[in-house]
Amino acid sequence: MGYSLSHAFGAVLDNPELIAACVVGDGEAETGPLATAWHSTKFLSPVSDGAVLPILHLNGYKISNPTILARISPDDLAHYLIGCGWAPLFVEGDDPRAMHQAMARAMDLAIDAIKRLQEDARSPTPRLGTEGAVRWPMIVLRSPKGWTGPKTVDGLPIEGTFRAHQVPLIVDANHPEHLDQLERWLKSYRPEELFDETGRLIPELAALSPKGQHRMGANPHANGGLLLRDLRLPAIADHALTVPKPGAIAASDMGTLGPYLREVITLNHASANFRLFGPDETLSNMLSAVFEVTQRQWEAQADDQDEFLAPMGRVLDAMLSEHQCEGWLEGYLLTGRHGLFASYEAFIRIVDSMTSQHAKWLKVASEIPWRRDIASLNYLLASHVWQQDHNGFTHQDPGFLDHVLAKKPGITRAYLPPDANCLLSVVDHCLRSRQYVNVVVAGKHPMPQWLSIEAAAAHCAQGIGIWGWASNDQSAEPDLIMACCGDTPTLEALAATKILREALPDVAVRLINVVDLAKLAPAAEHPHGLSDADYDTLFTRDTPIIFAFHGYPALIDRLTCRRANRTMSVHGYREEGTITTPFDIRVQNGLDRFHLVIDALDHLPHTGTKGAYLKQAMQDKLQAHSHYITTQGRDMPEIRDWIWA
């Protein structure tokens, strides 16, 4: 999929003794995810990290076309690789014996150069590579495609052409005449010199193969779970907000998480097995506290106005490429370490296909007995769809949740903590987990805080639950269930509940908050799914449910469509709205408190005149809102200053 080079970089981070040779096909080199990987050396410390030795294999063709890098001039190719920061060594030819010797020489030269660079950088008085000018070696291997395969088949050249890409020689019932050619081809490797009469590899050759952990398949870095050590994690209570009662304080969820992550970095500094990755958004996502104890790793030039850049640091966020951040993190996890990828919610879609492939890898690895579990791939998606103060329509895409929950249910998890203490609890859980893809969606703007850390931990451990303090159905069957998932929907669902309870005190409302989305799925479909009995206890079999959801409403529909209660009315993101006030984006998508109340009333026909007047009041509020923001440029005071209490 074009990101093996990123994986290699991730693998050598914090592995100063490791040199990862990585073959990159010339077709692969044309793919978007890989193209920027060539710049990764700007983030690799020659002191505390290992090295990557890329081998660009220019065999000239992809499926049915030539490759670009094989058809530009040798001068341009050298310019390109030098421009990306490398010192390329060229190995070219088609005589196998001569090429083996040339390749061996190139490998020796490259490894020597890497070791010399590292020894110098690690000496007390480094002389090379000041100002980030370390230039690592790489190898360009130019050889025929399908080398030593059939020269021609049915009159068409195969070796050295694109035709060698797939099956060079078809031998089946329709092509019996190819059998002789297959035999000649295979005999060209002189098996009689390689094997004895019983078909066993001759001892001289068998003795050449590496032993023990030097075997490629037994290298512990290729089965990273062997090397995995638990993270040391701080007590979340030490970083929790004090929430005397629901809604009593406001705070930034991501801003609260920052000091916790700072502590994670500090506690695991000595073992060097945790890193934070992101596409230039650590500060923008409100995680600045981490820079109190570490820096951004950056090996290129720095100036006196740069902030938090250093040759070594636990944060890799100085390249604006989701592909590289993801690829580095995957490589880091696959070699037995831990990490977190913080990104804008909308732009994580850029790596949809990489997530799919990692989820597939985890699924297959989980089925192989000798593969040890690795740390989960943790996404922290902030700056989400409901925060559009100065971005806009292009920055709105909550669909990564749909994407990951379409993957193998045993592998993927999605969490939407409603406040900062829940976010702490969820992240703590994700960092302890193994072998999953975890997606956490969190806000960064100040928002009301609902739960004490004890209540948050209990709520998140269950993943879903009734908030009794917001409900008034304790002594009766509920007339209405107000469900919510995500920080903004929780705020609006609570505000709607308050309006309903004040205007219609006889209506029994149950408020349910969902943190762990998969709780809604049937137990047979997802390991986290509630049993039907538990689901029906919470949602009943027929009480109207108004569900305020962070993402596309269809995701709730598909998760709940097999449940007994068929009254679900979901409010969520409907691809509406661009730069506007925080409340107006909710109004445009029907997620605001007023629309929630109107929908609730549509499901409560027995509220009669009181209900009719309340609905009118809600419609008046929507008009007033529209008028106010158009004339004042900000939300109405009753929205801005709203509190639960």
Q: Which of residues 560-579 bind its own copies (CB under 8 A)?
A: 560-562, 566, 574-575, 578
Pair 437, 407: CB distance under 8 Å: yes
Q: Which of 14, 49, 263, 281 binds its own copies (CB under 8 A)?
A: 281
Spatial distance between the Cα atoms of 527 and 359, rounded to a whole number of angstroms: 16
Establish if 619 lies at the interface with its own copies (CB under 8 A). no
The closest alpha carbon to 577, from 442, 391, 444, 445, belongs to: 391
403 binds its own copies (CB under 8 A): yes
Toward its own copies, which CB reaches closer, 182 or 283? 283
Q: Angle CA(536)–CA(542)–CA(547) in degrees, nearest 5?
A: 80
Tokens of 70: 């094989």
Of the pair 72, 461, the CB lying nearest its own copies is at 72
Q: Is 152 in the site for its own copies (CB under 8 A)?
A: no
Mapping DSSP to helix (H, G, I), strand (E, B) and coil, where does residue 242 land? coil
Name the segment binding its own copies (CB under 8 A); options: 24-32, 177-185, 475-483, 597-605.
24-32
The DSSP-derived string for 123-146 is SSS--S-GGG---EEEEEEE--TT
Q: At 525, is the secondary structure helix, strand, or coil?
A: coil
CA separation (Å) from 224 to 208, 271, 336? 26, 15, 4
CB of 113 to its own copies, least distance (A): 18
The region of 7-15, 91-99, 246-254, 389-397 touching its own copies under the rule CB under 8 A is 389-397
Question: In the numeric block, which tokens belong to residue 193?
Answer: 């010199």
**In the complex, what is the shortest distance from the CB of residue 319 to its own copies, in angstroms, rounded to a whole number?**
6
- The enclosing H or E element of 554 equals helix 553-560
Specify the stretch interacting with its own copies by CB under 8 A; choose among 64-72, 98-106, 255-263, 328-336. Answer: 64-72
Report the residue from 554, 579, 612, 643 that binds its own copies according to the rule CB under 8 A.
Answer: 554
Q: Which of 10, 146, 160, 418 binds its own copies (CB under 8 A)?
A: 160
Which residues within the stretch 328-357 sit at the binding site for its own copies (CB under 8 A)?
346-347, 349-350, 352-353, 356-357
With contact defined as beta carbons under 8 Å apart, do 388 and 450 qualify? no
Q: What counts of helices (H) and strands (E) characterise the chain?
A: 21, 21
With binding defined as CB under 8 A, does residue 175 bind its own copies? no
Binding residue for its own copies, selected from 7, 142, 275, 296, defined by CB under 8 A: 296
d(CA 15, CA 424): 29
User: Of the two residues 248 and 309, which places its CB atom closer to its own copies in the complex?
Assistant: 309
Q: Can residue 128 be called a binding residue for its own copies (CB under 8 A)? A: no
Query: In a 3-state reduction of DSSP, which class is residue 412?
Result: strand
Nearer to its own copies, 228 or 325 (CB): 325
Q: Which of the residues 66 through 125 are near its own copies (CB under 8 A)?
A: 66-68, 71-73, 76-85
Q: Measured at the alpha carbon of residue 322, what is the angle toward residues 321 and 325, in degrees to the nearest 5?
A: 90
Q: Phi-psi category of 14—alpha, beta or left, where left has phi over 0 and alpha has psi -120 to 50?
A: left
What radius of gyration, in Å, describes the C-alpha atoms of the chain?
30
Does residue 644 touch its own copies according to CB under 8 A?
Answer: no
Which one of residues 48, 144, 249, 280 is an interface residue with its own copies (CB under 8 A)? 280
**Residue 552 interacting with its own copies (CB under 8 A):** yes
CB 483 within 8 A of CB 540: no
Residue span binding its own copies (CB under 8 A) among the ranges 32-40, 374-382, 418-426, 499-507: 32-40
Residue type at position 79: H
User: For the residues of 66-92, what is the DSSP string, one character each?
Assistant: B-HHHHS-HHHHHHHHHHTTEEEEEEE
- Residue 380 as a binder of its own copies (CB under 8 A): the answer is no
Q: Is 528 in the site for its own copies (CB under 8 A)?
A: no
Site for its own copies (CB under 8 A): how many residues?
A: 98
Residue with Cβ nearer its own copies (133 or 612): 133
User: Residue 27 carries which DSSP code?
Assistant: T
Residue 599 binds its own copies, judged by CB under 8 A: no
Identify the residue among 16, 30, 111, 182 touching its own copies (CB under 8 A): 30
